[in-house]
Amino acid sequence: MQEVLIIDDAPDELAAITHSLERVFQVRTATQGFQGLKSAAMYPPDLILLNLHLQDQSGISILAELKGNPLLAQTTVIVLAGEHNIDEENLAFSLGAADFVRQPINLMAIKARITTQLELAQARRALSEVHLSRSQELEQARLNTVRLLVKASSFKDADTGFHVLRMSQYSRILALAAGYNTDYSELVFNAAPMHDVGKIGIPDRILNKPGVLSDEEWQIMKDHTIIGREIIGVQGSELLKCSASIAMSHHEKWNGTGYPLGLKGKAIPLEGRICAIADVFDALTELRPYKQPWPVQQAVAYIKDEKGKHFDPELVAHFETSLPEILETQQLYSNL
């Protein structure tokens, strides 16, 4: 039986839709945006019915997070909204909504829309399977492997989910701003979520410690770069090679004082230099067990101050020019 996740905080509406659908579909519900995102990420449904006007979080931001999550990007989303708002409708479609249903709800219409969209999704999958070459199938399998490893690491580190979504977006923006082509930028985008997969091998007492790590604990923590490369391996597709490179090199520093190899300047792989900026900027501006989030201005000042020390000077310049897009993305993918 196909599964529908309803994210809606209007009790009467939620009850009516659930009752209408549960004879045909397996139905899950969430009455808060964050709860819905967590439920979808843990157990991806076949379709999501999303009310854009929730009390706790903008439905548009939830839609963006759903479509920005590699595990959910292809999941069909139908949105519910009230009064006619063409800008809201256009934005929802631009973010990947498959259909738009006006309130007050028509239960028969919703059931028909859901059935139609699920049939279309099934037809698209069947057509894709017919036309995929063996090499494309293998590449998709590798991408799925990356996504599964990222999902596994999210159970180990509670900070991983939203951080991965944002820093991978920042990495793509930065690669494009630096003049690299779409193929390379997409490669970095898909590989960046693997940057901290090695934390799977770090003990919880260190990974989730609320205070400052001791010297011994810090040495163990630094091993996540090597563990990450060992998990991914150094052979295989371009995606896996790029993922392994990022996992190993995203803590290297331009002046050679980073880890694990102490690489310097352009000896550090380009994708590692890109992800270093994206990773640090997001880590500084988000809440962690051991620190409060920094104001954006302070984090930007830090990145600029570390130009030529921690970070590639040319990439810092591109970070500055692309900052409006990065901040827009930060807002869109915020979990606050």
Do 26 and 49 meet the contact criterion of CB atoms below 8 Å apart? Answer: no
DSSP assignment string, 274-311: HHHHHHHHHHHHS-BTTBPPPPHHHHHHHHHHTBTTTB
Do 58 and 331 meet the contact criterion of CB atoms below 8 Å apart? Answer: no
CA separation (Å) from 223 to 3, 25, 27, 230, 234? 40, 46, 43, 11, 17
Cα atoms in the 13 Å half-sphere on the side-chain side of 54? 25
pLDDT tops 90 at residue 86: no
Order the strands of the 47-51 sheet from edge to edge.
Answer: 26-30, 3-7, 47-51, 76-81, 99-102
Residue 81 pLDDT class (50, 70, 90 cuts): confident
pLDDT tops 80 at residue 291: no
Do 224 and 199 meet the contact criterion of CB atoms below 8 Å apart? Answer: yes
Q: Which domains does the chain have, with CATH numbers?
A: 3-131 (3.40.50.2300), 134-332 (1.10.3210.10)
pLDDT score recorded for residue 320: 96
pLDDT score recorded for residue 336: 45
The residue-averaged pLDDT of 112-139 equals: 72
Nearest residue to 265 via CA among 276, 209, 148, 205:
276
CA separation (Å) from 190 to 93, 155, 287? 23, 20, 24
- Say which residue, 330 or 320, is predicted with more confidence: 320
CA separation (Å) from 98 to 37, 73, 161? 18, 12, 24
pLDDT score recorded for residue 145: 60
- Say which residue, 253 or 236, is predicted with more confidence: 253
Q: Across all residues in the chain, what is the average pLDDT?
A: 87
Q: Is the pTM of this model over 0.95?
A: no
pLDDT score recorded for residue 292: 85
pLDDT tops 70 at residue 79: yes
The residue-averaged pLDDT of 262-279 equals: 96
Query: 59-68 vs 160-177: helix axis angle to the nearest 10?
Result: 80
Among 43-57, 76-90, 175-189, 293-307, whose mean pLDDT is lowest? 76-90
Residue 70 pLDDT class (50, 70, 90 cuts): confident
Distance (Å, rounded) from C-alpha 280 to C-alpha 298? 12
